[in-house]
Amino acid sequence: MNRKRVACLMREHGIQGVTRRRRRSLTRPDKKARPAPDLIGRDFHAGAPGTKLVGDITALPTAEGWLYLACWLDLATREVVGYSMADHHRAGLVVDALRMAAGRGRLRPGCISHSDRGSKYTSSQFRRSIDELGLRQSCGRTGSCFDNAAAESFWALLKEEIGTRVWPDRATARAQVFDFTETFYNRRRLRKHKVFGYLTPAETRQRHQHDLAAAA
């Protein structure tokens, strides 16, 4: 069946395809701050969990106003290891998400935390947290989405799965983001790993841990 036939049937039944809204950019670089070097170099792979993270912020529309979501993904497993939601996108939002990742005990000393050059990530509050947690900061170039492509890809997937509608309130949006992240994405969505095959992010982490224990 060709696409014209599909389009005709969709019109007859009042079906519309889901389309993503144009992304609202939240990157506001602080021109006075000196950004960290790029330690990733568009290499979005890691040999072991807890060694490379990528982070970003997105905005979800609700009838009460925007709900801002910050996430950190582990590049070895693509698991969302830390996230935070609030009605603002100040530095505390990304710090809370990073502390969640560290609190789960899944970050190794010297783990790279990669992001864009937004003012949240170049703030003294965020850099202080990086030092306290024993991590290394990495920043891509200003205006280059490809320098943080893994995080951008996650946002695209999230918005395809949960839709692009306006939620009635922030509580409803929070609940759906939590359900997508913890119930579906981390534990049920399969992805192809070059060594382990088709596994969920959580299963990939467990396989890494098993291999590490066996080697010890």
Whether residue 103 lies inside any domain: the answer is: yes
Say if residues 38 and 147 touch (Cβ distance below 8 Å). yes
Contact 59, 67 (CB under 8 A): yes
* CA quadruple 118, 44, 127, 89: dihedral sign: positive
State the Cα–Cα distance between residues 13 and 15, nearest whole angstrom: 6
Question: Is 122 within a domain?
Answer: yes
Residue 65 lies in a domain: yes
177 lies in some domain: no
User: How far is 49 from 42, CA to CA, in rounded Å?
Assistant: 18
Range of the domain at 78: 21-168
Q: What's residue 91's pLDDT?
A: 94
pLDDT at 216: 65
Q: Tell me how far CA of residue 58 lies from CA of 17, 25, 27, 77, 101, in angstroms.
A: 22, 8, 10, 21, 18
Virtual torsion, Cα 126, 61, 103, 192, nearest 10 deg: -110
Is 147 contained in some domain? yes
CA distance 213 to 216: 5
At residue 146, the pLDDT reads: 87
How confident is the prediction along the chain (216 residues), in pLDDT tens digits per residue?
Answer: 788 788 888 888 878 776 555 555 555 555 566 778 999 999 999 999 999 999 999 999 999 999 999 999 999 999 999 999 999 999 999 999 999 999 987 799 999 999 998 889 999 999 999 999 999 999 988 767 889 999 999 999 998 888 767 999 999 999 999 999 999 999 999 988 887 889 999 999 999 888 877 776
Total of domains in the chain: 1
Q: Give the model's pLDDT for residue 143.
A: 67
The confidence score (pLDDT) of residue 26 equals 57
pLDDT in the model for residue 34: 77
Within a domain: 33: yes
CATH number of the CATH domain containing 88: 3.30.420.10
In a domain, 174, yes or no: no
Q: Is residue 50 part of a domain?
A: yes
